[in-house]
Structure 1
Amino acid sequence: MSEPSDEQAAMQHYLVCGIGDCQKNGQFYCNACHRPLCEQCRDEHKKCPNTKNHEIVLYRYRKHQLPVEICQDHPTRNKDMFCRECSMPLCSKCSTMREHKGHEFDDLEDIYADKYALWQGEFSKIQKYFLPTTEDLKTDIEEDAKQIKKIMESIRTSMKAEAGSLKTLVDEVTSENIEHTHTMEKSLLKMLKSQETTYDDYIAYLGEMSDEFQEYLSTTNQKLLFKSKTLKIQPIPETTKPDPPVFTAGQFNKNDITKLLGRVNVPNTKPEKRKIQPMEAESTHMKYTEKQSEQSKEKSDVKQTLSMSSSVTKVREYSVPSVDSACHVSVDKSGRLWVSDETGNLVQTDLQGNQLQKIQTSNCRTTGFHTATQDGDLIYSDMEKKVINRITSDKKITEFIKTGDCVPISIHSTRINGDILVGMIKGGGAKVTRYSKTGQEIQNIQTGKQGQDLYSVPYYITENINGDICTSDFKKRAIVVVNKSGQHRFSYIGQGSELRPWGICTDILGHILVCDSDSKAVHLLDQDGGFLSVILSPQLGLMPCCSVCVDDENNLYVGQFNNTVTVYKYLQ
């Protein structure tokens, strides 16, 4: 067996061509032979008389091989047929037995492949639609619960305010009534005081009369007695008793008070049903149905479908001025680069690598702290000030988001809806926060279902085409992936040797690409975390790399630990 070339050795991983010593990328699959094929071997396979009628499809549309099951009646045979009348699997020898005479048989492998595709489709629906949609509905319920709490607290505040207003009015009326009693009391006492004065005057009059009668009684002069006028006592003055006021208690009860105050009513309307987004008829994800498993046979021509190229081709290379290393790369809509190093330098270059502007940030970490937005702006984090800034096309820098007491170390503007994903650290903890493109906080992701911490140091962050949030966590030495609802999906920890992940990005096919500083290579994963291949390595002339980025033209930008950014073409 001949030794594989350096390029072949670099590509020798799971998706390897199954023909002889060929070590190229096996992106096709022969359903008859059940082995992957590279493009060249596929063409030869079609030309060979013995295999020209074999069904060859793209690897992801392959027919899954029937599991081996030994026939109990014929141990040297495998069950590979299905009897329609008996509805049971059997071996080819069983089909010749008398009990199956005249029966119709199907290829068990075809049935298994169809069923497998159907089951995988249903499983995919659960993972891609039913589970995320249900999680979204659950999130809606949680938001509704928060809103109900706010509304009820507002109602209670209004009730207290209304009761306070009623109490104020009661106090005001009571005060007026009490003041009126003081006025009435003053008037009655004045009248009684006048009557008291009348009797004082009358008592004085009686005293004078008493003195005069005593003078008459003590005299010895009879003539005086007969000459004196007849004294007549004036009658006692008449006065009236006061008519005291009577307090008439108000006539009211609890129901009267209830009528005075507002009340809480449940709207007499039919509750609105929560909107469940329908499952898309067509999407970027393959919907596996029995009908589509037949249609997949027509998709073998790679020229009609974007797929992995059999080799990685270097397109161009930049030497970025004013940076020591290309620790993170962002590409805006115009194709211009933004490159940062570990000392906080952030430089923009044109398509020829000429410097357009340079910003000195306070960041001193090797992280993905900047990202290009859908609008063509760049946003970047200032770790020292704990803010996120925006740079517009006119080079104006404005403060965009404040992150409180958390340090924003990684950031990504999503392609799906423009949301901003920010990886943050605080003390010994870490989280991912989602903001709207206007800067409103939407979501915080920190722990898994069992309460475990999902992140330690999320150095780089990105979003996949299915809404998954992918983070490169250097301290955990893993790629941590959660769905758009924040539920943990999987963690990728490398192949064999320990993974030391740096930059991360995704492409139009849902692949996840990550730099591994241990192997100094770029790993390619599918969107479910399955390892596909190493597409770049030192054997292909790659210097130790730390960042990756894919542009709208499906070009792969690789930032290296010097100031070099190399562009590759790996899809066709």
Structure 2
Amino acid sequence: MSEVSQYSIPKLYQRKIDELLENELTEKEFSCRRILDVPTVTSVIDTGFPANEENNNRLYDMAVTDDNKVWMGGHSRELKLFDLQGHLNHTVNITGMLSCVYLCMYNQKVVYTDQPNKAVKMISETDTVVFTTGDWAPYGVTSAASGDLLVCLRKDDQSKVVRYSSTGTVLQKIQYDSWGQPLYRWAVYITENVNGDIIVTDWEKKAVIAVDRLGIFRYSYSGVTYSTVTTDSVGHVIITDLSWNKIHMLDRDGRFLRYIIPEGGIKNPRGVCILGDGEMMVGESLTEIAKRIKYQEE
């Protein structure tokens, strides 16, 4: 075992009682809303990303801003910012070779991972390197409630999740289970749920794997192939399944609830983000079309 310390003590943050009560009431109200039997596509965005010559993939990942716009990344050296009506608001050039783009919002700025240069970068006036990841190539990245960044890393046939501070200090490594066996084979996309679970899609295991804040195994959900993951405000786990044209919905403990398949279907879904009010944006990897989907009633 190359790394002895698997876990580190997480930061503790105080929250006011009224904030906790307000959050609990919001969750109860949201969870009482009915999931639509047939979700509807309320708008469509043509992102214009070109095709990868090898596998024809176009659209890889997306992240929603505080003002409900969506950054999207595809097979391109550009990131594009769209509003929900499909208008292109902004385009920025990114460095590095053409490769899969994984991104998230962090402190109201878009962050992406640069695999060829093994770096996590933030878009500002210049293309700022937040930190490098050594010999490990970064894949999925997400911002945590603690103010840290969680990054999926891969080297050879090994994968792990690392929690970084905003300056790139390693705060936590998650790689092995309680028996010393690797948790991941190929960790690709990552998100943090409202209960603190860290949820990762593993493209080699063809599963979604969840651990708690300490990195201790919680559950695994199998039966998905090339998948992406996000969560909504009440802890639903939303998983896109690129190969099987489905969107899976789990509860916060990893139990299957239902499929989210909009009217007219969804083709090769990959990138996904929650817009709020029971809506999500889902990108079709091969068509480069992004669909705004209403999946929960008002």
TM above 0.5, yes or no, is yes
Pick the structure with more helix per residue.
1
| Contact 2:148-2:164 at 8 Å conserved across structures | yes
Deviation at 1:552, TM superposition (A): 4.1
Count of matched residue positions in the alignment of Structure 1 and Structure 2? 278
Distance 1:460 1:363 in 2: 20
3-state SS, counterpart of residue 59 of structure 2: coil
| Contact 1:347-1:359 at 8 Å conserved across structures | no
Letter in 2 for 1:545: P
Unaligned runs of 5+ in 2: 1-6, 52-57
Q: Taking structure 1 as reference, are residues 360 and 398 closer, same or farther at Cα in structure 2, changes over 3 Å only?
A: closer
Name 2:45's counterpart in structure 1: 318
| Contact 2:38-2:261 at 8 Å conserved across structures | no
Distance 2:13 2:43 in 1: 47
1:485 to 214, 220, 223: 214
Name 2:80's counterpart in structure 1: 347
Alpha-carbon displacement from aligned partner over 1:327-364 (angstroms, at most 9, x marks no partner): 11111112222211245543233444225113244354
Alignment of 1:68-87 (within 5 A): none
Name 2:91's counterpart in structure 1: 357
Distance 1:440 1:306 in 2: 41
1:331 to 60, 64, 72: 64
Name 2:282's counterpart in structure 1: 558
Name 2:165's counterpart in structure 1: 436
Name 2:130's counterpart in structure 1: 400
Q: Taking structure 1 as reference, are residues 549 and 518 closer, same or farther at Cα in structure 2, changes over 3 Å only?
A: same
Greater C-alpha radius of gyration: 1
Distance 1:356 1:490 in 2: 39
Identity of aligned residues (%): 27
Deviation at 1:459, TM superposition (A): 1.4
Alignment of 1:411-422 (within 5 A): 411-414=141-144, 416-422=145-151
Alignment of 1:151-550 (within 5 A): 305-324=32-51, 325-351=58-84, 352-354=86-88, 356-362=90-96, 364-366=98-100, 369-373=102-106, 375-392=107-124, 395-414=125-144, 416-494=145-223, 499-536=224-261, 540-550=264-274
Deviation at 1:436, TM superposition (A): 2.4
Alpha-carbon displacement from aligned partner over 1:84-109 (angstroms, at most 9, x marks no partner): xxxxxxxxxxxxxxxxxxxxxxxxxx
Unaligned runs of 5+ in 1: 1-137, 144-274, 287-298
Deviation at 1:397, TM superposition (A): 2.0
Deviation at 1:555, TM superposition (A): 2.2
| Contact 2:49-2:75 at 8 Å conserved across structures | no
Deviation at 1:447, TM superposition (A): 0.4
Name 2:3's counterpart in structure 1: none
Letter in 1 for 2:40: T
Letter in 2 for 1:468: D
Distance 2:21 2:118 in 1: 42
Letter in 1 for 2:134: G
Name 1:186's counterpart in structure 2: none
Letter in 2 for 1:411: V
Q: Taking structure 1 as reference, are residues 520 and 487 closer, same or farther at Cα in structure 2, changes over 3 Å only?
A: same
Letter in 1 for 2:154: I
Alignment of 1:24-173 (within 5 A): 139-140=8-9
CA RMSD of aligned residues (A): 3.0
Distance 1:363 1:334 in 2: 30
Q: TM-score, normalised by structure 2?
A: 0.83
Alpha-carbon displacement from aligned partner over 1:277-327 (angstroms, at most 9, x marks no partner): 89x8858679xxxxxxxxxxxx8xx79944533441222111113444221
Pick the structure with more strand per residue.
2
Q: TM-score, normalised by structure 1?
A: 0.45
Name 1:567's counterpart in structure 2: 292
Distance 1:372 1:570 in 2: 23
Distance 2:30 2:118 in 1: 48
3-state SS, counterpart of residue 87 of structure 2: coil
Alpha-carbon displacement from aligned partner over 1:45-80 (angstroms, at most 9, x marks no partner): xxxxxxxxxxxxxxxxxxxxxxxxxxxxxxxxxxxx
